[in-house]
Amino acid sequence: MNRHLSRIADHLPFTWVDGPGNRIVFFFQGCNFDCTACHNPQTIPLESVHAREWSVDDLLHRVRESMPYITGITVSGGEATVQHEFLVELFTRIHNDEEFAHLTTFIDSNGFVTREIWDALAPVTDGIMLDLKA
């Protein structure tokens, strides 16, 4: 059962540049930074006419379509941890469902969230790609 909806700017059904192996990547809408050299500046505002609200089931449907070709899922953005409750639900479903359990879960993040959020994400996250800002 879906408890949360998330604002998703876009997704790539197959990529090999957003983490190890072949992956599906979801670009979350909204970022807690406003970097002038942002790779995805359209994803900075939390609200956008181009973003759609997706449920966990919506994302898992997209994952199923890509499953013959992928080894994992990456969430990016924007900043996916801005919507951390949704990430916990998504990654928990992936790890607890036999259909998806072989997939790894990665977060591409700026790292600017509280310790409590990292503590909530850690048990269901296989890796973090941290983008250090200088």
| Structure token digits, residue 100 | 């998806």
For the chain, the distance separating the N- and C-terminal CA atoms, rounded to the nearest angstrom, is 40
Q: Give this prediction's pTM.
A: 0.94
pLDDT of 2 reads 60
Average pLDDT, the chain: 95
Higher pLDDT, 37 or 9: 9
pLDDT of 132 reads 83
Whether 10 contacts 59, CB under 8 Å: no
| Structure token digits, residue 56 | 């966990």
Question: Model confidence at 42, in pLDDT bands (50, 70, 90)?
Answer: very high
Rounded distance between C-alpha atoms, residue 121 and residue 134, angstroms: 25
